[in-house]
Structure 1
Amino acid sequence: MSAHITHAMVLAAGLGLRMRPITLAIPKPLVTVAGHTMLDRALDHVERAGIDDIVVNTHWLAGKVTEHLAGRGGITLSHEPELLETGGGVAKALPHLGHASFFVVNSDIIWTDGDTPALARLARMWNPERMDALLLLQPVERAVGYEGKGDFFLDAADVPRRRGEASSAPYLFSGVQVLHHRLFEGAPEGRFSLNVLYDRAAERKRLFGLVHDGAWYHVGTPETLPEVERLLSSPQV
């Protein structure tokens, strides 16, 4: 694993509204899918990448996340009394994320690796001299449980371009990425989306993308759970 990525953040503060009624009682990251919570799956990826300093943010049913993580070492909790969205949540946690580059991983998606772990592939491609953000992009045609139109096009130089007015785009943002501290210089206060910073990075030609070569699952509603569990439990996964 690249030596310049030593920290990571796992986003676990969302409300999980589309997963109700399940998420009335437990936060979405603690929903169990094929024997493992989505939060544990994300943390396992990060820990296998050799990251020992991990921040997990909390909001909805935060006490349950705190209790669940009590047995894991190397984790700093960043509680948000008011939900800060993705950008605000990471900005709040910056003091715990080192001084340079770090992974950010959503805990409400599930992915499996190809021959080389996705985080290792991101670290290998990451160049902080040229990049402020490197997004792992999932081909829409291989995205399980996804019903959107895609987020990005990707050119031959690995530069993403938003779908814009196009009817569809071939790649979606997977929820896995590498960011640099400098991306947050001049960021909005309080609640905001990381999309604001992606667009700034794109304007500066410092936003890049890498296509994921493994499987990716969006567990958006209770109805999608059985199919995702079936696929994750199959021998080839």
Structure 2
Amino acid sequence: MQTHPSSVMLFAAGFGTRMKTLTRDCPKPMIKVAGRSLIDYALDLARELSPDRIVANLHYKPEQLQAHLEPQGVLLSHETPEILDTGGGLRQAIHLLGNGPVFTMNTDVIWAGPNPLELARDAWDPDIMDALLVCVPLARAMGRKGAGDFTADPQGRISRGGDLVYGGVQIVKTSGLQTIEKNTFSLNELWNQMHDANRLFALQYPGHWCDVGYPEGIEIAESLLKSYDV
């Protein structure tokens, strides 16, 4: 049985409603930050690991993403007629990703510092972990609106509430998805199972991170990239 991830899932199906008019004619992953599409920053990080395959799920305005990603060798999981949310979307894409744990990435954030996937890969311990979430302390989570998501104990096990922000990168075992009866559901439902089994962990990211889910996040992210000369 495969115990370490060799595939990357990019979440790119969302409507991007928080971006307001910017996503009226453009899917959120194609919005430009410092002259490049958001999803290309995620692809850069993914390719540094030389994964066996990279998969993206599509729903809102899929033609633009398909035209951008297919020539780059990204496999596509089309969600029709309904969008399936992160959990349902990941489950639908398993036949493309392969068995075993996978990396997943949100495509509406910017990382400044070491590659978060490499950090997760090096810290992954499948004997005790069902998921390892790369989290950012609230003080280094730029553009974040609201509180954090998790608290970690000294061993890295996490529980809800606290000043750690989930950064949108994780390694996760997918077998538990098959026990969820809904078609459309969030990965939070899978994380809840893992939390109850004491197998949900976090890795604290040492660099900075920016949420580009809102229009004002674009300028913040561009300033962050400039300061890190990324």
The TM-score bracket by the shorter chain reads: over 0.9
Q: TM-score, normalised by structure 2?
A: 0.94
Aligned identity (percent) is 38
Q: Runs ≥4 in structure 1, deviation > 4 angstroms?
A: none
Shift of 1:49: 1.2
Displacement of 1:4 in angstroms is 2.5
- Match status 1:148 vs 2:120: no
Q: Deviations over 1:182-231 (max 9, x none)?
A: 23230233100000110100101111110011220001222332232122
1:56 paired residue number: 56
1:165-195 alpha-carbon deviations (Å, 9 max, x no partner): xxxx210111100011223230233100000
Equivalent residue, structure 2, for 1:104: 104
1:132–1:182 Cα contact (<8 Å) kept: no
Secondary structure in 2 aligned to 1:21?
A: helix
Cα offset, 1:234, TM superposition: 2.9
- Quote how far apart the aligned CAs of 1:235 are: 5.0
Q: 2:131 aligns with which of 130, 133, 145?
A: 133
For structure 2, the 5+ residue unaligned runs are none
Task: Tell me the residue number matched to 1:221.
Answer: 214
The SS at the match of 2:55 is strand
Q: Which letter does structure 2 place at the counterpart of 1:227?
A: I
Structure 2 residue identity aligned to 1:176? V
Q: Indicate conservation of the 8 Å contact 1:132/1:183, yes or no.
A: no
Post-superposition shift, 1:68? 1.0
TM-score (normalizing by structure 1): 0.91
Which position in structure 1 is the counterpart of 2:77?
78
Q: Give the 3-state SS of the residue equivalent to 2:104 in structure 1.
A: strand
| 1:207 equivalent in structure 2 | 200
- CA-based RMSD of the aligned residues comes to 1.6
Structure 1 residues 68-110: Cα deviation after superposition (integer angstroms, max 9, x where no partner): 113202x210011111111000011111112111100001111
Unpaired segments ≥5 residues, structure 1: 164-168
Q: Distance in 2 between matches of 1:134 and 1:227?
A: 27
Aligned ranges 1:1-237 → 2 under 5 Å: 4-73=4-73, 75-81=74-80, 82-114=82-114, 117-163=115-161, 169-237=162-230
Instruction: Write the distance in 2 (CA, Å) between the matches of 1:88 and 1:61.
Output: 19
Maintained 8 Å contact 1:6/1:102: yes
